Amino acid sequence: MEETDEQTEVQDPRLRRRLVLIPCPLQGHMTPMLQLATLLYSKGFSITIAHTHIIFPNQSNYPHFSFQSIISGGKPPSDVKTFIFYINNNCADPLKECLLSLLSKSDKQDYEPVVCIISDAMMYFAKDVADSLKLPRMVLRTSSAISYDAFTYVLQLNQQGCFPIQESRLEERFPDIPPLKFKDLPTMKTSDGSSLYEFLLKMLLTTKASSGLIWNTFQDLEKLALTSITNDVHIPLFAIGPLHKTVTTISSTTSLLPQDSTCISWLDKQSPNSVIYVSYGSIVGMDQTEFVEIAWGLANCGHPFLWVIRPNSVANCSQWEKLLPDGFHEIVRGKCCIVQWAPQQDVLAHHAVGGFWTHSGWNSTLESICEGVPMLCRPCFGDQAVNARFVSEEWRVGLNLENGLEREEIVRFIRKLMEGKEREEMMVRVKDLKEKAKNCINQGGSSLESLQSLINYILSFNK
Ligand SMILES: O=c1ccn([C@@H]2O[C@H](COP(=O)(O)OP(=O)(O)O[C@H]3O[C@H](CO)[C@@H](O)[C@H](O)[C@H]3O)[C@@H](O)[C@H]2O)c(=O)[nH]1
């Protein structure tokens, strides 16, 4: 897509429209929201980001946006699901104050009128605030359409008294969304005892009650799920992804952690398609036994590897180096590069990278598809098992390491991913998807057309 983040300048603020975007403070959610903000800014909208002080972007990367804090102070819970409840329970009043102040500024005729708010689907507190101010509210879903579809079935199953699913049924295929298995549905509990069910219910009901749904996905990838959701929600859907490719001018600035680019010079010295890149996104960690098995699996697989190990991602261990057994460093010398946080999109685009061992977060999945890199999936929670099932059995551009982490099994899977006939077949399919992803953001492509419809839709709110 030939876009820049240069805005078509509209000088008179009264002719411009302001959008207030409310990201969820997690990397995998913040990134697509900031990409959407940049895209809408490039189309002439003014942007306010209503954010928490817990995790927030580097504002100097976005001099053209205004930032309003909607929560500060206090120590948030460390468990992700409890954290999401905490945000939803504490941000409504500050958001209302923020919106009231913006609305009163525009009443004085010297400021762009706020026409709509766009909130992350997990920030469901935004519904009541928007309703009370009679402001249209749209929702950005940062994960796959298939996972949304799967979540709606979790609610149905719960209503039918089918949760928790019997152990004996976990391997069964899901009748309504093949190739899903029952075990792919999210079933976790939060540490404060609130059930996942309560969370999903709130998220899905407030999403359905919004004025429209924006997706970081594209039609050629998720047509069936998008159609099924359209039939269910009766509100307009806009599939405008892959957002990181639609917004071409800010490739790395959405990162909340400093990226270590030394891994790119290391990749420059490796042979084409030889390296396996290993990263489990911004939240997923591992226990100490898993860490050691992963380390040995990588050491023994015969391929050079680039491994992202975030600080504190190994449970109860601040110094993961001490877990590595004697002899490990000698075996991997020259064959391995370990960083705390990588410039992932550049890594995946590098000619030396031949495979991606991922936790199947949606951004990572899309980024891998867009660079034509086949995946080894190790899903952990939420939408990840659903994404992994589709990667391995529907799109068939990866393998699913679903039966535990054990070093011999890891070696076997990595070799299957990186060598042989099955790899060749996956490469053909992933290159095909890469091409489709490219086409959908070109002139006449489905995502570009959807983006134009989204802009027209937002402008219609003001009439
Ligand atoms: O070293 C790294 C590792 C990751 N990333 C980036 O971090 C993002 C990670 O996003 P994602 O792959 O979606 O994983 P999570 O951070 O785990 O994202 C959360 O949010 C996603 C979107 O809703 C969900 O799909 C996931 O399950 C959920 O854990 C991607 O853009 C990566 O490019 C880097 O830049 N450097």
The enclosing domain of 372 has a CATH number of 3.40.50.2000
- 235 and 345 housed in the same domain: no
Q: Cα(359) to centroid of ligand 1, in Å?
A: 9
Interval 159-177: pLDDT, tens: 888 777 788 888 999 888 8
Give the Å distances, CA to CA, from 165 to 176, 185, 198, 241, 386: 16, 10, 17, 34, 16
Alpha carbon nearest to ligand 1 atom 3, residue: 281
341 lines ligand 1 (CB under 6 A): yes
- 368 and 287 housed in the same domain: yes
Give the whole-angstrom CA distance, residue 171 versus residue 161.
19
pLDDT at 2: 41
Helix (H) or strand (E) holding 416: helix 407-418
- 224 and 275 housed in the same domain: no
How many beta carbons lie within 10 A of that of residue 329, not counting itself?
12
Instruction: Quote the pTM value.
Output: 0.95
| Strand arrangement, sheet containing 375-377 | 336-339, 305-308, 275-279, 353-358, 375-377, 398-400
- 448 and 318 housed in the same domain: no
Tally the domains of the chain: 2
Residues 6+ apart with CB under 8 A from 158: 197
Give the whole-angstrom CA distance, residue 276 versus residue 195.
37
Q: Cα(27) to centroid of ligand 1, in Å?
A: 6
Could you tell me the residue range of the domain that residue 414 belongs to? 262-438
pLDDT at 74: 67
371 lines ligand 1 (CB under 6 A): no
Per-residue pLDDT 10s for the chain (463 aa) are 444 445 554 555 556 899 999 999 999 999 999 999 999 999 999 999 999 877 777 888 899 999 999 986 667 777 777 888 889 999 999 999 999 999 998 877 778 899 999 999 999 999 999 999 999 999 999 999 999 999 998 888 888 887 777 888 889 998 888 899 999 988 654 454 456 788 889 999 999 999 999 999 999 999 999 999 999 999 999 999 999 998 866 444 667 788 999 999 999 999 999 999 999 999 999 999 999 999 999 999 999 999 999 998 999 888 988 998 888 889 999 999 999 999 999 999 999 999 999 999 999 999 999 999 999 999 999 999 999 999 999 999 999 999 889 999 999 999 999 999 999 999 999 999 999 999 999 999 999 999 999 999 999 997 6
Alpha carbon nearest to ligand 1 atom 24, residue: 361
- 205 and 273 housed in the same domain: no
- 171 and 211 housed in the same domain: yes
Nearest-atom number in ligand 1 for the CA of 308 is 1
pLDDT at 94: 94
* Beta strands, E only, 113-257: 114-120, 137-141, 212-215, 237-239
Ligand 1 probe mutation, 362, 369, 390, most atoms within 8 A of CB: 362
- 34 and 155 housed in the same domain: yes
Q: Which two tokens stand for residue 23?
A: 């990201």
Q: Which residue has the tokens 């400093």?
A: 258
Contact 70, 52 (CB under 8 A): yes
Catalogue the long-range contacts made by 131-138 (C-beta closer than 8 Å, 24 or more residues apart): 132/96, 133/96, 133/99, 133/100, 133/103, 135/99, 136/211, 136/461, 137/210, 137/211, 138/210, 138/211, 138/212, 138/213, 138/214, 138/458
361 lines ligand 1 (CB under 6 A): yes
Q: Which two tokens stand for residue 403?
A: 């039966």
Ligand 1 probe mutation, 255, 282, 309, most atoms within 8 A of CB: 282
Q: Cα(292) to centroid of ligand 1, in Å?
A: 23
Residue 381 CA, chain-centre distance (Å), reads 13
Secondary structure letter of residue 419 according to DSSP: S
Alpha carbon nearest to ligand 1 atom 21, residue: 28
> What's the 3-state SS for 129-152?
HHHHCCCCEEEEECCCHHHHHHHH
- 301 and 219 housed in the same domain: no
342 lines ligand 1 (CB under 6 A): yes
445 lines ligand 1 (CB under 6 A): no
pLDDT at 251: 43
Ligand 1 probe mutation, 27, 250, 255, most atoms within 8 A of CB: 27
